[in-house]
């Protein structure tokens, strides 16, 4: 075969008209095979697979580790595979877009000044991913006209009604282009319940939790309302609608974490060092949270039993349900939630 792999090198003038390269047919089903026979059967079923793909969205969790292989086949006008064609791949963010989600500086600006170096470092070393990446951005179709790239997911699930979406664009030159749609989000999120005189949410952008926590939070709120506390419990941060990175938090990604205000004597916000701080009620709150399954609570009042001290937790309790929910979850990709391996805010 011609050693030159670019498209023009394969198309002498007298054949050029015969070889019309169709749009690459993207079929995000791992081929798994290298034998040409199986490739051929794969190829003959390709149009069917392709239609199937159009109806079946690819869904990944916004955990920075999920992958999907994207094989493409280049064919001529007679549906015959064309080897030796240079195809390019790249990723585009469709939703959410904008610098605040998808650029390093934009994301860094959404974090508190003390956290900015840390978030920038994590974006730069790939521990936090603002856009999916590809194992390769160019490939040459093989003897059966196939090429592939491996997509690895971002940490962006977003907070819009629609799940986050990224496109993998496959192109031959500039005019033959095909798109693979990847939807990114956890499918287990549900709104945090409100209970009159028991549980409220104030100032949170992320108002969702793992659905298994909803009945427990409902129970917490009803318990407090029944006990006629002067003020309800106040949640100030849950998780985004689809999970994933929730600036300015490093955790709060998988639906298992909440920020809660300490109880006060005036129903307003405050730290445990302030005059309006209500220690007995806050201790009761910690006990109730533990009763409904909180595995770890961070709060800095040293007299509170059942909470651990951690910088930045004077004005709120960080409540993690990771452990019990991990036991309940049957994650479809075989992984377990692991917010615990990130520093907390």
Interaction site with Zn ion (CB under 5 A): 259, 318
3-state class (DSSP) for residue 39: helix
Cis bond upstream, residue 81 (ω within 30) = no
- By beta-carbon proximity to Zn ion, the closer residue of 89 and 298 is 298
Residue ranges in the chain assigned as alpha helix (H): 13-16, 36-44, 46-55, 99-102, 104-108, 116-124, 214-226, 279-291, 322-328
Instruction: Judge contact between 28 and 53, C-beta under 8 A.
Output: yes
Q: Using alpha carbons, select from 208, 210, 205 the residue that is nearest to residue 249.
A: 205
Q: Whole-number minimum distance, CB 259 to Zn ion, in Å? A: 4
- By beta-carbon proximity to Zn ion, the closer residue of 149 and 239 is 239
- By beta-carbon proximity to Zn ion, the closer residue of 92 and 314 is 314
- By beta-carbon proximity to Zn ion, the closer residue of 182 and 260 is 260
- By beta-carbon proximity to Zn ion, the closer residue of 39 and 241 is 241
DSSP letter, residue 163: P
Kind of pairing, strands 233-237 and 199-201? parallel
Q: Whole-number minimum distance, CB 164 to Zn ion, in Å? A: 22
Q: Whole-number minimum distance, CB 102 to Zn ion, in Å? A: 24
Q: Count the neighbouring beta carbons within 10 Å of the beta carbon of residue 131.
A: 15
Contacts of 334 (CB under 8 A, 6+ apart): none
Q: Whole-number minimum distance, CB 342 to Zn ion, in Å? A: 11
Q: Whole-number minimum distance, CB 248 to Zn ion, in Å? A: 10
Q: Please give the residue whose beta carbon sits closest to Zn ion in the complex.
A: 318
- By beta-carbon proximity to Zn ion, the closer residue of 259 and 301 is 259
Q: Alpha-carbon distance 126 to 153, whole Å?
A: 11
Q: Whole-number minimum distance, CB 314 to Zn ion, in Å? A: 13
Q: Whole-number minimum distance, CB 283 to Zn ion, in Å? A: 19
**Rg of the chain in Å (alpha carbons):** 26
3-state class (DSSP) for residue 172: strand
- By beta-carbon proximity to Zn ion, the closer residue of 102 and 118 is 118
Q: Alpha-carbon distance 89 to 286, whole Å?
A: 51
């Amino acid at each position: 075969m011609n050693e030159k792999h670019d498209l023009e090198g394969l198309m002498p003038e007298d054949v050029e008209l015969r070889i019309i390269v169709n749009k690459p047919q993207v079929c995000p089903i791992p081929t798994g095979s290298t034998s040409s026979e199986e490739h051929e059967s794969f190829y003959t079923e390709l149009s069917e697979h392709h239609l199937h793909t159009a109806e079946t969205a690819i869904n990944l969790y916004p955990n920075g580790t999920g992958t999907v292989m994207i094989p493409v086949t280049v064919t001529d006008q007679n549906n015959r595979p064309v080897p030796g064609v240079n195809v390019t791949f790249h990723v585009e963010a469709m939703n959410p877009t904008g610098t605040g989600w998808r650029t390093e500086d934009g994301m860094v600006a959404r974090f508190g000044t003390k956290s900015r170096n840390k978030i920038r470092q994590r974006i730069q070393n790939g521990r936090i991913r603002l856009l999916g990446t590809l194992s390769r951005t160019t490939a040459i179709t093989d003897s059966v006209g196939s090429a592939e790239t491996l997509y690895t997911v971002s940490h962006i699930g977003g907070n819009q009604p629609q799940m986050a979406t990224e496109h993998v664009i496959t192109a031959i030159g500039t005019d033959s282009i095909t798109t693979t749609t990847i939807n990114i989000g956890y499918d287990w999120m549900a709104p945090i319940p409100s209970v009159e005189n028991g549980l409220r949410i104030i100032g949170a952008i992320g108002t969702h939790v793992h659905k298994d926590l909803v009945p427990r939070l409902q129970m917490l709120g009803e318990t407090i309302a029944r006990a006629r506390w002067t003020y309800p419990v106040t949640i100030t941060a849950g998780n985004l609608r689809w999970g994933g990175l929730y600036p300015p938090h490093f955790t709060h990604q998988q639906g298992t974490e909440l920020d809660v205000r300490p109880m006060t004597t005036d129903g307003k916000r405050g730290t445990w060092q302030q005059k309006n701080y209500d220690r007995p009620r806050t201790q009761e709150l910690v006990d109730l949270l533990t009763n409904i399954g909180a595995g770890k609570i961070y709060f800095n009042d040293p007299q509170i039993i059942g909470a651990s001290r951690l910088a930045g937790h004077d004005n709120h309790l960080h409540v993690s349900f990771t452990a019990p929910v991990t036991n309940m979850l049957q994650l479809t990709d075989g992984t377990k939630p692991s917010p615990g391996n990130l520093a907390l805010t």
